Copies of this chain bind each other. A is one copy, B any other.
Amino acid sequence: MQLAEAKEKFIQSWGSLGSQWGINKTMAQIHALLLVSAEPLSAEEVMEELLVSRGNANMNIRELINWQLVRRENKPGERREFFVAEKDMWKVFRLILKERKKREIDPMIQIIHELNDVKGDKKNAEYKEFNAMIKDLDTLTNKGDKMMELVIKSDENWFLNTFIKLMR
């Protein structure tokens, strides 16, 4: 396979993976494009390469910057801004995990926690089942939460170093 073809394939795949995960396609594709670009790209270049509108490019680049997956970069003597993606994939993974946890998992954990003290008759089967299920879920989500925190805050090699033996 040639480089150009490989880049194209990567951009398309990353885009469709993104949309399955609730990240919009353009955002994921811009991210992919910047990942495969050795040089910083301008908004104009992103638009041309992916055939998207100015507004769309702008909005999604901004979002990528919010997620800290992309940063602005200036070229000397150039008025316009250029963009570069974080290329360390382990860091990328942690940044994505962090954002999604914040937006999706944390509110859920909060709600589950609130559902832990429901008033009711302790002899009632419905009540007992509900409480057991929520308790179970609360325990599980809290473990998951701690684990994610650990991963998000871990340095570059911690995760691999710790688990590598278990995975072989």
Q: Residues of A with Cβ closer than 8 Å to B? A: 1-3, 6-7, 9-10, 13, 17, 20-22, 35-38, 87-90, 93, 103-104, 107-108, 111-112, 114-115, 117-120, 124-127, 129-130, 132-134, 136-137, 140, 143, 146-147, 150, 160, 162-164, 166-168
B129 touches A87 (CB 8 A): yes
A115 touches B150 (CB 8 A): no
Classify the secondary structure of A's interface with B. helix
- Known interface pairs A9-B111, A38-B129; A1-B136 also in contact (CB < 8 Å): no
A20 touches B88 (CB 8 A): no
B2 touches A115 (CB 8 A): no
**Residue of A3, A114, A150 most packed against chain B (CB within 10 A):** A3
| A118 to B107 Cα, complex, angstroms | 43
A3 touches B127 (CB 8 A): yes
| A120 to B6 Cα, complex, angstroms | 11
Specify which chain B residues have a CB less than 8 angstroms from the CB of A37 in the assembled complex. 126
